[in-house]
Amino acid sequence: MLGLLFLTSVGSIACDVCGGMVGILPNENKHSVSLFYRYRAFKNEYFNGNNWFPDGGLLRTEHSSDAVAGVPSYEVFRVAELRGRLMFHKKWDLIINLPYTQNKESVGDEVESISGIGDMSFFANRYWSNSHKKTQLNYRFSAGFGFKLPSGKNNNLNNKGQRISLYNQAGTGSLDYLVLGNIMLGYKRWGLTVNSLFRINNYNLFNERIGPIASASASLFRKIKVNDELLVAISINTAYEHTRGIQIGKNWQKDTSMKLISCGSGLQIIWKNISFESQVLLPAYEPKEYNSQMSMVRFVSGFVFNI
């Protein structure tokens, strides 16, 4: 029940692999349009199947009801996301994200799916300190704020006519507030980027909400110049995610919280004004008592077109 929260557009505002500004990577201070695919899987303690693709494939999708003790279950969340970035000032940009979600939950022999437009978000970001000099050391610090709009449907029903869990809906049904910070450093062919995101969630029409979300990620990367038009960057990545879970009225729901540290690697290939980015993260630390579904894998891949 824990994946959709971090697979929607909110987590994608921060760069997924290395970023592309401050002279650390090409195409800084440009507008961009990008398309990303995000995949995430979870399982309970009784599931013994494939830890990467429990439903047998990266692109398949369906969905189901709550887990039952002793019955194997897994959950898969997929998002195809269209992003736009507008540099409307040398120190400001506007980021817009529109996700399309496909979610699946399988409990025993019961499988159900749901798909649809997710919650759209937009973000205004300001560059407070930004080095453009062609020196060995470059840096950037940026911070901004934004909103997540209740554009996704949040009253989907299962095949028994019951409303499914909030985590598994296409949208949350609430207007949420976002705060983002980013630090980037580059020295010669090495770079480091650190992103942090805090999200404050409001109640929806069902008197429920997801608790405040805190997440952070860091990437250490190295650039490899192939020729004047082609650049490759490989990275080592880590991410932290935490939320207290779902709150209905004043009551927090058991087994809906998350506390996770994950680690993995990333690859970015830049050719002229086009880049391909991909990242895989696996759980490194996740206390079992926080939730009923444990993380399996998180995968992000996409293309960015700079204008």
> What are the residue ranges spanned by the domains of the chain?
4-306
Averaged pLDDT score across all residues of the chain: 80
52 compared with 222, residue with greater pLDDT: 222
Which of 194, 152, 157 is CA-nearest to residue 176? 152
Query: Does residue 202 register a pLDDT over 90?
Result: yes
The per-residue pLDDT for 235 is: 93
Quote the pLDDT of residue 61: 41
**Type of residue found at 296:** M
Task: Compute the average pLDDT of residues 21-42.
Answer: 74
Distance from C-alpha of 165 to C-alpha of 72, rounded to nearest angstrom: 18
Task: Return the DSSP state at 159.
Answer: T
Would you state the pLDDT for residue 19? 36
Position 208 pLDDT exceeds 80: yes
Q: What's the average model confidence in pLDDT over 213-232?
A: 90
Residue 279 pairs with which residues in a beta bridge?
266, 300
DSSP state of 14: S
What is the CA 99 to chain-centroid distance, rounded? 11
pLDDT (0 to 100) of residue 133 = 60
Does domain 4-306 bear CATH number 3.90.1170.50? no
Residue 18: predicted pLDDT: 34
* Residue 198: Cβ-neighbour burial (10 angstroms; 0-12, 13-18, 19+): middle
Torsion on CA atoms 244, 245, 246, 250, rounded to nearest 10: -20
Percent of the chain exceeding pLDDT 70 equals 77
The pTM of the full predicted model, rounded to 2 decimals, is 0.81
Provide the pLDDT for residue 62: 38
Average pLDDT of the residues in 124-139: 76
Q: Which of 269, 266, 296, 264 is nearest to 281 (CA)?
A: 264
185 vs 86: CA distance, rounded Å? 23
Burial environment of residue 227 by CB neighbours within 10 A (0 to 12, 13 to 18, 19 or more): exposed
Give the separation between CA 222 and CA 250, rounded to whole angstroms.
47
Of residues 169 and 46, which shows the higher confidence score?
Answer: 169
Q: Average pLDDT, stretch 24-42?
A: 80
Question: What's the full length of the chain, in residues?
Answer: 307
Per the model's pLDDT, the better-predicted residue between 268 and 286 turns out to be 268
Of 294 and 214, which is predicted with more confidence? Answer: 214
In the block, residue with structure tokens 């909110």: 10
Distances (CA, A) of 243 to 4, 6, 59, 201, 216: 13, 10, 28, 11, 12
Using alpha carbons, select from 43, 44, 73, 41 the residue that is nearest to residue 57: 41
Q: Say which residue, 190 or 287, is predicted with more confidence.
A: 190
| Mean predicted confidence (pLDDT) in 40-55 | 68
Q: Across residues 40-65, what is the average pLDDT?
A: 59
Cβ-contact 279, 300 below 8 angstroms: yes
* pLDDT reading at 66 higher than 70: no
